[in-house]
Amino acid sequence: KRTQQRREEAAVAPWIGYNEEDDMKNQILALSKEKRNFLRNPPPGANYHFDMAAVYPVALATLDVDENLKQMRFDLVPKQINEETFWCNYFYRVSLIKQSTQLSALAHE
């Protein structure tokens, strides 16, 4: 229980602590303005592992700073998709932004 509490206290939005933090933050915040980012599953064969327990504290931290995400979740869960699918689809796209931002940063170095 103490480990879970520590994890929740340490949870921050997904762009915190990256070199290209501002750019990444803007791209991630833009995700929550488009409904299809939550309704479309990762493509078959995508190498993406989703762990709801691991991302949930990050999801809550992100909800605190992204009003559009809060509204999208309210609109879609559970009317159109369940909670886990909502976060899986969202964090899949977050992972793509992180990868591309880090690759761009490497290319500029």
* pLDDT tens digits for range 10-65: 689 999 998 889 999 999 999 999 999 999 999 999 999 999 999 999 999 999 99
With bands split at pLDDT 50, 70 and 90, how would you rate the model's confidence at 103? confident
pTM of the full structure: 0.88
Structure tokens at 88: 């899986």
**Cα 8 from Cα 16, distance rounded (Å):** 15
Q: Which long-range contacts (CB under 8 A, 24 or more apart) does 24-31 make?
A: 24/97, 24/98, 24/101, 27/97, 27/101, 28/62, 28/94, 28/97, 29/66, 29/68, 31/69, 31/90, 31/93, 31/94, 31/97
The pLDDT of residue 7? 47
Domains in the chain: ranges and CATH: 21-39+51-108 (1.10.3970.10)
pLDDT higher than threshold 60 for residue 5: no
Contact (CB, 8 A) for 42 and 89: yes
* pLDDT tens digits for range 61-75: 999 999 999 999 999
- Percent with pLDDT over 70 in the chain: 91
